[in-house]
Structure 1
Amino acid sequence: MQKDQTLKGVLLAFVAFAAYAWSDASVKMIDGHLSPYQSSFLGAVFCLVGLPFIMKSGDRWTDIIKTTNRPLWLLRFVAQAGGTIGSVTAFTHLSMAEAFALIFLLPSFVTIMSVFFLKEKVGVKRWAAVLIGFVGVMVVLRPGFRELSIGHLGAVFGGLSGAISIVVLRAMGRREKNISLYGAGVLGTLIVCGALAIPGFQMPTSLQWAYLAGYGLLAAFAAILVMYAANYAPATLIGPTQYSQMLWAVLFGYLVFGDTVDLPMVIGILLIVGSGLLTLARERARGTPLPPALGSDAQAAAVIAPEEIPNTK
């Protein structure tokens, strides 16, 4: 019975990360005709639909802004906004496979930050995973042999911002409600990106509204599925399923966007994905108490962070 429940959780996670990939493909379809600030803001508006489903028994609407640590809550607030802008910029200017490859540096960033900010002890294998990840990035980017763009910067910044959010989740611990963690990310994107979008705001066309709805609603749906998946399977098993997004990225790139993936990029992607999987394996072996470095979307980690069960006796 337990194996069946675990399998159900893992399958739900695969569907969730497929939805995340479709969400990213939707924002890429806008093709930069709207600013990344506006796309991020309007996508977050649609993401609000998921809030009632993220709430657990006993949660209140005011819990969205309540926190046990306001400075860290605000750091996540800002980091999620920056990460969303970076990711939208990356998917606009790069192929989906290349964008995902660079964003998937997130586990390496988490390892480095955990040493400095959480004082975690990192062994040789985790440092080796970090090194492998950065070698993969050099293979993908090939600086000096190809032109780099703002999309590459956006992807790296997206991974870095996501890593900040993950480290914040670990630092805040089990006392923070999932709805507060999720709410900080959505509200940060709404307020920061909304303010930045005002100067150049333009009314989307009907087709752009459809893409924006797909971007936000699919992301919300994915977060809900990840939360349900976490009810059946541990985060250490859910984590590796995130890399299935790379298969979707290659498929979308080939069938929808006309992208090609050359041999050096394939090698770089394999190195980066291998680095992430090795990091997740080491975190599982160490029994990391809060969510492992869940790849390209910090909101996924926010909804599976284990909460303390209040003592009602």
Structure 2
Amino acid sequence: MDRVPQQPLLAFAAAIVAVGFLSAMDAAMKSVSLDHGALSALAWRALIAVPVVALPYFLTRRDRPTSAALRYHFIRGALMVPMSLTFFWGLKFVPMAQAIALAFIAPLIALILAGVLLKETIGPRIVAGSILAFAGVLSILAGQAQAALGRDALWGSLAILFSAVLYAFNIVLMRRQSQSAAPLEIAFFYFAIAGAGFWLVAIPLGPPSFPASSAVDLLLATGLSILGMLGLAWAYARAGAGYLSASEYSGFLWAALFGFLIFGEIPSPWTVAGAAAIIAGCWVAARPERTPHPMETA
């Protein structure tokens, strides 16, 4: 049973704003990653965010996290380490709008995972949607080849696609986590667990140096990340994951806007066409089956 009243329209609007915060965060993180590397950006962002979120969390906390909530916190936090590293590493080499367009396959992968892991039916719409979305991915990669962006851009795109697979698992977890924990609790444990993971990954390479020359961008990325995470947690507690998944598609417009304003990036026609095909594929796969009217079966 839901712990909070359901407010679908307000939740959808909040999710779109939250996606905007996260897209702006992507731009700030891309700037830091270009100068100091993705691992340094992620590790220091988490280290700054933990005390910022911990203070209001512990001051307002009424109960300790349940065992179910702790399980979701740990799994999602651990999942965020490879997911974030591969995404922000790839983002260094490809335009923001292209990266977000590739990441749009995550909701479709989530539907396929539900069929494989949860034994849910994979119907013809999911198959058709998968084919359409795959054509969209090929369109984006073809445009990349036409633009002669080089080998790094190809590896960056593959890293983002791998991150999208991990994000598909994240989508499945997000709704359940939001139903068992408040937004501040989710944000605190995310930064604490994922942050510890980033620093553990850095052990073989040595502690990442503080990106002093990009400190403003790093602080901006940290604040935007917290706002975006709190916004999504608030929204997913008030509406279903399937209903809110469409809000993710606003990320393409946000990414195109911030990519143009900050990096001078202009999405190619190949990227726009690919994004449209991926979104259409997800819509075909995810929309509910039409229930026949009783008179139609009489």
Specify the TM-score bucket, using the shorter chain as the normaliser. 0.7 to 0.9
Residue 18 of structure 2 aligns with which residue?
A: 16
More helix by share: 2
What CA distance in whole angstroms lies between the structure 1 residues aligned with 2:129 and 2:37?
Answer: 35
Secondary structure at the aligned position of 2:34 is classed as: coil
What CA distance in whole angstroms lies between the structure 2 residues aligned with 1:193 and 1:107?
Answer: 25
What CA distance in whole angstroms lies between the structure 1 residues aligned with 2:58 and 2:116?
Answer: 33
- Flag the 1:19–1:69 CA change in 2: closer, same or farther, 3 A: closer
The answer as to whether partners of 1:81 and 1:185 remain within 8 angstroms in 2 is: no
- Flag the 1:216–1:97 CA change in 2: closer, same or farther, 3 A: same
Question: Which residue of 230, 233, 236 maps to 1:224?
Answer: 230
Q: Structure 1 residue 266 and structure 2 residue 272: aligned?
A: yes
The answer as to whether partners of 1:28 and 1:88 remain within 8 angstroms in 2 is: yes
Moved more, 125-134 or 223-232: 223-232
Q: Mind listing any 5+ residue stretches in structure 1 that lack a counterpart?
A: 287-313
| Shift in Å, 1:230 | 4.5
What CA distance in whole angstroms lies between the structure 1 residues aligned with 2:237 and 2:57?
Answer: 13
Structure with more contact order per residue of length (Cα contacts < 8 Å, sep ≥ 6): 2
The answer as to whether partners of 1:47 and 1:220 remain within 8 angstroms in 2 is: yes
State the identity %.
21
Residue 301 of structure 1 aligns with which residue?
A: none
TM-score (norm 2): 0.78
Question: Which residue of 152, 156, 161 maps to 2:161?
Answer: 156
- Flag the 1:174–1:202 CA change in 2: closer, same or farther, 3 A: closer
| Shift in Å, 1:154 | 2.2
The answer as to whether partners of 1:21 and 1:245 remain within 8 angstroms in 2 is: yes
Question: Which residue of 172, 187, 191 maps to 1:186?
Answer: 191
- Flag the 1:130–1:57 CA change in 2: closer, same or farther, 3 A: farther
Question: Which residue of 177, 183, 189 maps to 2:181?
Answer: 177
What CA distance in whole angstroms lies between the structure 1 residues aligned with 2:85 and 2:46?
Answer: 11
The answer as to whether partners of 2:11 and 2:238 remain within 8 angstroms in 1 is: yes
Q: Mind listing any 5+ residue stretches in structure 2 that lack a counterpart?
A: 1-6, 292-298
Aligned partner of 1:186: which letter?
A: F
| Shift in Å, 1:95 | 0.5
| Shift in Å, 1:53 | 6.3
| Shift in Å, 1:84 | 0.9
The answer as to whether partners of 1:40 and 1:189 remain within 8 angstroms in 2 is: no
Question: What CA deviation, in whole Å up to 9, does each residue of 1:213-236 have, x standing for no partner?
Answer: 111211111122233345665544
What CA distance in whole angstroms lies between the structure 1 residues aligned with 2:70 and 2:15?
Answer: 30
Q: Greater Rg, structure 1 or structure 2?
A: 2
Residue 250 of structure 2 aligns with which residue?
A: 244
What CA distance in whole angstroms lies between the structure 2 residues aligned with 1:50 and 1:122?
Answer: 40
Aligned partner of 2:79: which letter?
A: A
TM-score (norm 1): 0.75
What CA distance in whole angstroms lies between the structure 1 residues aligned with 2:98 and 2:123?
Answer: 29
Residue 102 of structure 2 aligns with which residue?
A: 102
Residue 128 of structure 1 aligns with which residue?
A: 128
Secondary structure at the aligned position of 2:287 is classed as: helix
- Flag the 1:53–1:123 CA change in 2: closer, same or farther, 3 A: farther
Residue 46 of structure 2 aligns with which residue?
A: 44
